[in-house]
Amino acid sequence: MRVRAPEQYPFMDDPIFREFFGDRGRPPQQPRQRRTGLGSGVIVSADGYILTNHHVVDGAEQIKIDMNDNRTFDARLVGSDPPSDLALLKVDATNLPVLSLGDSDRVRVGDVVLAIGNPLGIGQTVTMGIISAKGRQTGLSSGSFEDFLQTDAPINQGNSGGALVSTNSEVIGINSQILSPSGGSIGIGFAIPSNMARTVMDTLVRTGKVRRGQLGITVQKVTSEVAEKLKLGDQRGILVAQVQPGSAADRAGIRQGDIITAFNGTEVNEPNTFRNLVAATAPGTDVTLTIQRDGREQQVRAILGEFRQQVHQQDR
């Protein structure tokens, strides 16, 4: 993959400086840098579709897949989705071994799991642990569409994109992140749930990119203090803290201070869960929100807008 060289002499682009000094002092042209990296992936179809992390293939000029039976394939990038940190690759092969994607919603805290990957490039490795928590956020993913399964199965650099497997031999997660002060495993690893991975994969196969719905509101959890202040009967739902002018929510008449209790009939009590439900719905979809306003419950219909990821200047 390409590596961007840091700009060490930014004043050389100053026209006043160049008027006096010309090109003197300009450093010699540096050769374009390259680096190679290793990550893991999961074969999700016998005809060669492979799931991995976006950050594993981000910026890659060439992608090769090393199979456990010593075969190597050139892979093409079908599509990549930074907000979920998922990417889909394709190799020209048939009759590949496949593990099916399980239902991550049925995973329970305490379930035994296996993490499969290529830690630190030493070769395929299997580690064991349990599901430590569900619905985790780390704030490290681009766009933060996170709903991680947390596991204490040892995960290290190189495991990214590998499978988190249940004792029923189903892939229930794609290993993605660790939290560690040292960079090595301390038993706090995170995997993207298989249900999210399946949704992203199916969309990438059909269109090559993922489009997400957006309401245009900022929400927060209804804590006991918030419930008491607003004189709510019970502590449920999420509080609308801000409505973006001209957004789908604004057009639908949603107001600051509304309490959203359900999205298309699905009860919501966590801001992250709500955000992921909205994002998983296609832009332009007509949705129904159940809200509490002035002590009364009512239904509000809205047509979702489209989420636009902010692009940093250096990435344009």
pLDDT in tens, 169-222: 999 999 998 888 877 788 899 999 999 999 999 999 998 888 889 999 999 888
* 3-state SS assignment for residue 206: helix
Is 160 part of the annotated catalytic residue set?
Answer: yes
Select which of 40, 54, 55, 81 is catalytic: 55
Residue 194, pLDDT score: 95
Fold of 213-306: Pdz3 Domain (2.30.42)
If pLDDT is split at 50, 70 and 90, which confidence band does 279 have? confident
Give the C-alpha separation, 24 to 12, whole Å: 9
CATH code 2.30.42.10 region(s) in the chain: 213-306
End-to-end Cα separation, the chain, in angstroms: 17
* Residue 129, CB-side half-sphere exposure with 13 Å CA sphere: 22
CATH code 2.40.10.10 region(s) in the chain: 104-207
pLDDT at 6 over 90: no
Residue 34, pLDDT score: 59
Residue 2, pLDDT score: 53
- Only one residue has tokens 């003197």, namely 24
**Domain 104-207 bears CATH identifier 2.160.10.10:** no
Is 55 part of the annotated catalytic residue set?
Answer: yes
Tens digits of per-residue pLDDT, 117-168?
999 888 889 999 999 999 887 766 554 677 899 999 999 988 999 999 999 9
Select which of 40, 84, 132, 160 is catalytic: 160
Select which of 80, 81, 84, 85 is catalytic: 85
Residue 7, pLDDT score: 44
Contacts of 214 (CB under 8 A, 6+ apart): 247, 248, 278, 279, 283, 304, 305, 306, 307, 308
Residue 1, pLDDT score: 53
- Percentage of residues of the chain with pLDDT beyond 90: 55
Lowest model confidence (mean pLDDT) among 24-28, 45-49, 64-68, 171-175: 24-28
If pLDDT is split at 50, 70 and 90, which confidence band does 272 have? confident
